Amino acid sequence: MKIVFWIAQILLALLFLLAGGMKLFTPYSELAESMPWVADFTSIQIKLIASLEVLAAIGLILPAILKKYRIFIPLAALGLAFTMIGAAIVHIGRDESVIRNIAFFVLAIFVFYTRRHFLSKS
């Protein structure tokens, strides 16, 4: 069962590392063309969202590798779950699909739930 937990944690980290990295390094004008919701935000807001996604992805993996500060693992997963709630609100307001947001939310909550024991060990 631990393998399933690790796969979920690594998958969540990879998804947000790629998504955040793409938003961080792609020019705003190109993002706005490929993702219409980007136009609702400023360039700085998009870079902030992207930075938080990348930091959360790092927070999911680095503490596990270092075997230190593991409290950040469930906190990073919870932060990504809240990010997906915000993303779903934006997409619902634009009459867009939220299926991807729901799937990522469920994955983030799963990682949070399976790693929550690190919260009590700090």
Instruction: Give the model confidence (pLDDT) of 12-36 as tens digits.
Output: 999 999 999 999 999 999 999 999 9
Domain boundaries, the chain: 2-120
Helix extents (H) in the chain: 2-25, 28-34, 43-66, 72-93, 99-115, 117-120
pLDDT the model gives residue 122: 54
Percent of the residues in the chain that have a pLDDT greater than 90, as a whole number: 93
pLDDT band, very low/low/confident/very high, at 104 (cuts 50, 70, 90): very high
- Residue 97: what are its φ and ψ, rounded to 5°? -70, 140
- Compute how many other C-beta atoms are within 10 angstroms of the C-beta atom of residue 6: 13
Query: pTM to 2 decimals?
Result: 0.92
pLDDT the model gives residue 120: 83
